[in-house]
Structure 1
Amino acid sequence: MAKARIVGVGMDYSPTSKSALRWAAENLVDDGDHLVLIHVQPPNAGHTRKILFEDTGSPLVPLEEFREINFSKQYGLAYDPQVLDVLDTLSRAKTVKVVAKVYWGDPREKLCDAVDDLNLDCIVLGSRGLGPIKRILMGSVSNYVVTNATCPVTVVKAN
């Protein structure tokens, strides 16, 4: 039997991050794997949990707790039934252990930090499909992570 992998998915609730989650669920994650949904909140987000976990990121939050609206409020996350449906299906159909982790700061740096903190075997991100000019001006999170992460990175383009 193959060793269970730890797969990270960057989640900001944009259509492309949801596509990345669906892609990972359908094409990458296998029975027994662990899936970590990685949220990066802006550094100025003033949520109650930030004070406790700003330096290290939140503890790993099991799917059962992540499903609660109160959890989303505490961390300033969107409560998204579509995302929860994909995660519930994964945890049941493929017996995947699903957890969430929240970081605060620059998404580029924090996603790379998550790769090392969580010993990810791979990470999946959505791409907003910025044109070349916007990508130069704004910087692309996916380009940065592809260049700097210490594990394989899959970028799922917007449909």
Structure 2
Amino acid sequence: MAYAKRIGVLTSGGDCPGLNAVIRGVVKSANCHGYDVVGFLKGYEGLVDPVCYVPLNQKNTSGILNQGGTILGSTNKGRFNATVGESQRAELDRDLLVGVETTFEQLNLSGLICIGGDGSLRIAQQFHEFGLPVVGVPKTIDNDL
């Protein structure tokens, strides 16, 4: 796949302090390196039909450091729920992975930054195993990374 200089970012799982700071840091760093950033709403669910995203830039992320929660929203329910039990992993449906790949192609994404806990990063790992460029940023409220 040929990619533009655009990356996606999402927050997944439960809420914890610092999510907006990570989003703002991603945007600032990406923009400095010539990348556009899109933020997917509602966690992983924003990646598939209907795709829900917003363009992110330094202007619309400049005042978010002191806001609680995440400006992108988050969920640990839905089609991407990978909670099975400790050290177990639910396999994502291939059609779901193909849907995410289609979103990558339609938006010309060169990568996706997933901010999440252990379950959320298991999903990101499956994206990687499917061949999608992904970076996981660990976060937790449970101290269980």
TM-score range, shorter chain: 0.3 to 0.5
Q: Which has the higher helix share?
A: 1
Larger radius of gyration: 1
TM-score normalised to the size of structure 2?
A: 0.48
